[in-house]
Chain A
Amino acid sequence: MTEFLNNYPILTLVTFLPLVGAFVILFMKNEVNIRWTALLFTVVDFIVSLPLVCYFNTATHKMQFVERYSWIPSWNISYYMGIDGISVLFVFLTALLGWICILASWKAIEKKVKEFMIVILVMQTAMIGVFCALDFFLFYLFWEAMLIPMYLIIGVWGGERRIYSAVKFFLYTLAGSVLLLVGIIVLYFAGGNTFDILSLMNQNYSFTVQFWVFLAFFVAFAIKVPMFPFHTWLPDAHVEAPTAGSIILAGILLKMGTYGFLRFAMPMLPEATHYFTMPILLLSLVAIIYGGYLALAQEDLKKLVAYSSVSHMGFVTLGLFVYNTTGIEGGILQMLNHGISTSALFLCVGVIYERTHTRKISAYGGLAKVAPVYTTFFAIFMLSSLAIPGTNSFIGELLIIVGAFGYNKVIAGVAVLGAGLGAAYLLGMYKRVALGEITNEHLKEVWDLDAREIIAMVALVVFVVWIGLYPKPFLNVMHASTEHLLKQITVTPPQ
């Protein structure tokens, strides 16, 4: 089987299958058929992505399932795809969230269904491409190509202030990525006229080059994460985006920022990475605490989850920059966890919004009485986001904090405080929404989950519990690559 997989362009298949689906939908008319076709393509894409995980060789840090074809010879650019222990997890996550997004939009999207499904499928291709690309030009192409569909998803199918949010999202992200482009081209010339990511990792750049390129990369990736103080686009985008948009944003787009650090900034620019460690760790701590505080004060369910994302992503960046296996593996695992738990929370918010058309926390109360199944799932995801032992995030945050203790005790101590904040806002929210007496007459008309919604939620619960109780397979997959990454970033710190 492995032999078979290595001989066939499976990564290309996983990446471009959704795009093929978008093309097919382009020629369809019936809305019901369009929904089913979109679902079919995303499910098949998910199934095709499974062998990537099942037959992944965990013993090596080398790129697997590699495909390489010359593309633009005069600039030495090739179509170069491959995954290692880090990216395989996110290819899988993207494929998983793909069909969940379609399910989440089944009823929520009523106007322009055809366009929506096309845009979501195009987005899916671009996102998987980002994680598979091993050529910097190809990577940048996928990275920027995400902007157009995401802009449309927020702007066309969003809430009331959708246009403002869409434009803000677009310009914010574009401003970051154009600097990334300059950084990429500088590395191309500094690294011997190549866009090959692997060979760019093996160069020794002068500290000046590293310093400036790191700054350019940092702005681009920090906006995507988003790190404090670049986070202001996130709440707007999240609040206005339709449920599927929020899931994509929280589940995958935010991961691209941290993935960028892992794949490019750290291994390519180790000295600059060390140079900037302290500021980044401090910004992470600010994000953890400040994001948590902001979440405490939110009246809007989506905004609350959005600010909790800022806090949680703070944990991820903290874990990545403490330079030990525990911390980095915790960070990567937490990226995956956040993709699952926060997407699930947005799914929950979307489900209830479809029924009540409000996201105001004060409009709810006592939901558990009318929709017990829903509140049970909600509770599981809330607890998972809160990092209760037995859930996925517990493992992730624990590893990060242990890793941080190994680096600096004060930083770790502050991070623990931030974890406490999480309990405050999440439990508070849950209490006000689900528990107590029914405060609002409308809520009595709320119906419980249907089969479609249960399928989507169960799929996510499986991973919450699996990673929570037995994270070993996931850690195994990333272990070799993490060790290799650590080796790459071990340098003598500059004087």
Chain B
Amino acid sequence: MQFNIINIIASMPEIIVIAAACLLLMVDLFLSKRQKHLMAYLAIAVVIIAAIQTWRIEGVRPLYIFDRLFVVDSFATFFKTIFYLSTFLAILLSMNYIKIEDIEHSEYYILMLFALSGMMIMASGADLITIYLGLELMALPVYLLTGFMRKDIRSNEAAMKYIVLGALSSGILLYGISLIYGLTGTTQLSYIAASLKGGAKVDSALILATIFLIAGFGFKVAAVPFHMWAPDTYEGAPTSITAFMSVGPKAAAFAVFLRVMLHALAPISFNWIAIVAVISVVTMIFGSVVALVQTNIKRMLAYSSIGHAGYALLGFVAGGADGIASVMLYLFIYTFMNMGIFGAIIVMRKGGFSGENIEDYTGLAKVHRGMALLMLIFLFSLAGIPPTAGFVGKFYIFMALIHKGFISLAVIAVIASAIAAYFYIRIVMLMYMKEPAREFDVAQTSATRLALAIAAFGTIIIGILPAWAIDFVQRAVFR
């Protein structure tokens, strides 16, 4: 590998984030206890600088660097945008929340930045090794963050489950990668695609490798039957981290899943399409049905997030540029609406009151009209009711599916979405149609206001004027 300045410039955003995270670790030493909250602003500054740098080097032509281990293309830029957005919103939502939970340590934000750098490397990974590297770099900080409430037994349990199952799935993924390397002689995504296209006969080892890869990534996106960690982890983690990992790391996992399945393994899609189709159907139905009976809102949203992963997987089945674009649009929209609903839950946490039970929201509309309206918008968007963005996201996926002739899958998907609507509107029902049972005290700060406003704006504007968002994702599809 010859050294080239291009390599440094093109990977500048990643370098910035990692270097800044290391630097902030040192800065932390010089901050007194009172000044710890400044760390949040520094982290936000890092995110913004990295974002600016990313968009500055954004070019139309994919740029391969570091011996084709790493790629800078609009697909990566698109996903990095999602990561910056979700990290930014998560930091805004965390600032007051971690004070309330008494976990205000500088490491909280620094770990978030490390996770961010991992996600960025995943999105830019052009090689299975880079992808694996990014995946682990993302996963380890998130494990730590999940267990950040050291004194809370649920948080500990969540981190434990996550790390054990996460390690297992990483092992499976690695095994899949090694099989692929054995079969094709390369870990480079484009070369894998080329070698598979070049008349490589499909043998059982290749199918096994594909299944291992699907299982590994399926774990990261919490698809059934690899979802077991999600409900406990979502419930136990600090809510701000739940919000973060239900959006950022999930989108990162989808980004590499898309690249691997629809780029490297696209030539043998006839082999895995049925597997993914079955997984997506089971995921949708399981997520929707089990969410119906939850009493804890974080757990319910965990199952809802499983269900949403099922819809996104439908885009894999559809395949092609539209399939990829529909998954991307879905994730983009999901960022706004999921951050929004978690933001609302975070704001409800104050004093001795957790805001975690669904019943806690009874009568909210009477006391806090604004909060109730915001939650209504996010919930209807998650349910996919127009004119919210959630509808546009589902619509594109159905379009892509039906275009490829998977009409029965589309029918199953819409029926699952009708079932799922019930548990979303149940919360609306509690908020609007019942008398309040207790006092509400909302921990609203200007930071959370800003975060909720951004989320609500995105949810509504993409619902009404989706044209720009569609263009945005269609331009960013990898080729």
Contact = CB atoms under 8 A, between A and B. Distances in A.
B398 interface: yes
A71 interface: yes
Given A163-B434, A166-B429, A185-B402, 14 more contacts: A72-B467, A115-B369, A141-B386, A144-B385, A151-B425, A151-B428, A167-B426, A167-B429, A174-B421, A178-B414, A178-B415, A178-B418, A185-B398, A188-B399
20 contacts: A74-B474, A75-B470, A140-B386, A141-B387, A144-B385, A145-B386, A148-B385, A156-B433, A162-B433, A163-B433, A163-B434, A167-B429, A170-B425, A171-B418, A181-B398, A182-B398, A182-B411, A185-B399, A186-B407, A189-B403
B21 interface: no
B398 A73 contact: no
Interface residues of A, number: 33
Interface string A207-236: 000001000000000000000000000000
Contacts of A156: 432-433
A155 interface: yes
B132 to A, nearest CB: 35
Interface string A149-184: 001100110000011001100110011001101100
Contacts of B414: 178-179, 181-182
B410 interface: yes
Nearest to B468: A72
A473 to B, nearest CB: 36
A71 B433 CA distance: 36
A48 interface: no
Query: Which 4 A-B pairs rank lowest in CB-CB distance, beginning with the nearest?
Result: A178-B414, A141-B386, A155-B433, A185-B402
Contacts, number: 81
Contacts of B467: 71-74
Interface string B395-429: 10011001100010011001101100110011011
Interface of A: 71-75, 115, 140-141, 144-145, 147-148, 151-152, 155-156, 162-163, 166-167, 170-171, 174-175, 178-179, 181-182, 185-186, 188-189, 212
Interface in B353-404: 369, 376, 380, 385-387, 391, 395, 398-399, 402-403
A185 B410 contact: yes
Nearest to A72: B467
Contacts of A212: 407
A408 to B, nearest CB: 34
Contacts of B422: 167, 171
A188 B415 CA distance: 20
A231 to B, nearest CB: 19
Interface in B425-460: 425-426, 428-429, 432-434
Interface of A is mostly: helix
Nearest to B392: A72
Contacts of A186: 402, 407
Contacts of A72: 466-467, 470
Nearest to B417: A178
B471 interface: yes
Nearest to A111: B366
Contacts of B466: 72
Nearest to B405: A189
**B376, B386, B403, B425: most-surrounded residue (chain A CB, <10 A):** B386
A152 B422 CA distance: 14
Contact of A147 (B385, B398, B399): B385
Contacts of A188: 399, 402
A151 B379 CA distance: 14
Given A182-B411, A185-B398, A185-B410, A163 B385 contact: no
Nearest to B372: A115
Interface in B282-307: none
A130 B429 CA distance: 26
B293 to A, nearest CB: 15
Contacts of B395: 181, 185
Contacts of B391: 141, 144
Given A73-B467, A147-B385, A148-B385, A170 B398 contact: no
Contacts of A147: 385
B387 A145 contact: yes
Contact of B407 (A115, A145, A182): A182
